[in-house]
Amino acid sequence: MTDSPSITPTWAEKKAKLKAKFGLLVDSDLNFAEEKKDEMFARLNEKLGHTRAELEGFMAL
């Protein structure tokens, strides 16, 4: 059986899409650790003015 590409984007792919969509984001804005997810969303909310639900929607694309 061969490895097939994953349909679910990786965090690196999501970060790249977010940085392309929101040019003012830098890597440190998108530092992710599962236990600090709330802090990351708070940083993004403050910087971009989008709700957590909106940001999760952008990440799901």
24's CB contacts (< 8 A; 6+ apart) are 47, 48
Report pLDDT for 8: 74
Q: How far apart are CA 20 and CA 11, in angstroms?
A: 14
Report pLDDT for 6: 63
Comparing 8 with 57, which gets the higher pLDDT? 57
Prediction pTM value: 0.74
For the chain, domain boundaries: 11-60
Report pLDDT for 51: 96
CB distance 14 to 58 below 8 Å = no
30-60 confidence digits (pLDDT tens):
888 888 899 999 999 999 999 999 998 988 8
Report pLDDT for 52: 94
